[in-house]
Amino acid sequence: MIRALDWNDTYLNLEPGHPSDNISATLTVAESENKSGQDFILSTILAYELHCRLCDAAGIRKKGWDHVTYGSISSTGAAAKLMGFSKNQIRDALAIAMTTGNFLRQTRIGTISKWKAAAFAQASQNAIHACLYVKHGFTGPSDIFEGQHGFINQITRGEFNLAPFFGGQEKSEFKILDTYIKYFPAEYHAQSAIWAALDLRKQLGEENLQKIAEIHVETSFHSYEIIGKEADKWAPETKETADHSLPYIVAVSLMDGEITVQQFDKSHLQNPKLLELVNKVTVSEKKEYTQIYGKSFPNKVLVRLVDGTEYVSEVKDPKGHPNHPLTREELGNKFRSSTAPFLNQEQQEKMIGTIWNLDEIRNIGELMQMGVVYEYA
């Protein structure tokens, strides 16, 4: 449920990730262990810290591993904290989770399936299983990081520059402050491209959409590699491929003037006029953007009309970036929009109020009960 709409958060460095995926583990274990809102918040900050520091330490996608592999570690650490494990028990739980929770990058290559949304859920489930094994007396493999066939040799292939200090140590900030919340339900690298395309649509006017001869997007190498290179990105057959396609996302933004979950439905994916516009898009790396990657995630979109007239828009920090944060009202509206088919207005407002005061809740199970769906239209 957290990942299905591709509308949660992102952290980007040597490895990309969606650290809010860990919340599936922290919510589940906090509820089962009858923990408070403060306990839940602490465990979630811990999960973010582990996940983001691992993304800083080594890139694994080029080595064939999916980023949710790191979720097996971060969700385990958070779950172990909530279960009150000793240091030795935490070590054993991590060792079991890291032995069993490694995932292939093929999940996000070519035509992307619905499994994409469930991959981290599997990692979190694996993490909780590892903790339950330890809770009932299991021990885990030794030397799981540095052993002959351990994590560094097998998964990161020798790369592992872990930060010497984590959040709260030696004046280091917590990594949760460096994550980026998506404003639109699409892959994060495309967020600034959406804003640029929406700006261009205003410049062009709807009457000029049929006069577009070509569209060019300049982006970072990482963005180009993940959402702007493969042939499937120009002919997406699934929602999961479309929301990870820079050509499609830019084209549909220009055509519709908005990005919601509806822009990725079957009627859009099979719209010949939209697909014609998608195939007018080209993508290339802009070295300047690659050099600032990790701090900023810009895109520049150029539209050229058949008469040669050009329109250009560049956006560096999209709304939701730490330099351009969402307001509480905007976050509330995002929640209302995504839950409208399932929760009535009273439920929505009660949950929003509770979440903004989560440190006061005595048992996280109270929050979970607020999300019960009584009717589904």
φ, ψ of residue 341 in degrees (nearest 5): -70, -10
Q: Is residue 58 very low, low, confident or very high in pLDDT (cuts 50, 70, 90)?
A: very high
Cβ atoms of 223 and 97 closer than 8 Å = no
Cβ atoms of 127 and 25 closer than 8 Å = yes
Tell me what pLDDT residue 341 has. 87
Q: Is residue 376 very low, low, confident or very high in pLDDT (cuts 50, 70, 90)?
A: low
Q: Give residue for tokens 């439920």.
A: 347
Domain with CATH 3.30.1330.120 in the chain: 188-315
* Helix axis angle, 23-32 to 37-57, nearest 10°: 150
Domain with CATH 1.10.4100.10 in the chain: 9-181
3-state secondary structure of 158: coil
The pTM of this model reads 0.91
Residue 12's DSSP bridge partners are: 16
- CATH class of the domain at 9-181: mainly alpha
CA angle (248 as vertex; 245, 253 as ends), nearest 5: 125
CA angle (99 as vertex; 96, 101 as ends), nearest 5: 95
356 to 62, 326, 353: CA distances (angstroms): 39, 14, 5
78 to 14, 45, 130, 155, 254: CA distances (angstroms): 22, 8, 12, 22, 42
Q: Give residue for tokens 């980023």.
A: 67
Span between the terminal Cα atoms of the chain, in Å: 17
Query: Per-residue pLDDT tens for 300-315?
Result: 999 999 999 999 999 9
Q: What is the CATH number of domain 188-315?
A: 3.30.1330.120
Tell me what pLDDT residue 97 has. 98
Strands (E), the chain: 9-12, 16-17, 180-181, 212-219, 281-285, 299-305, 310-315
Query: Per-residue pLDDT tens for 162-214?
Result: 999 999 999 999 999 999 999 999 999 999 999 999 999 999 988 899 999 99
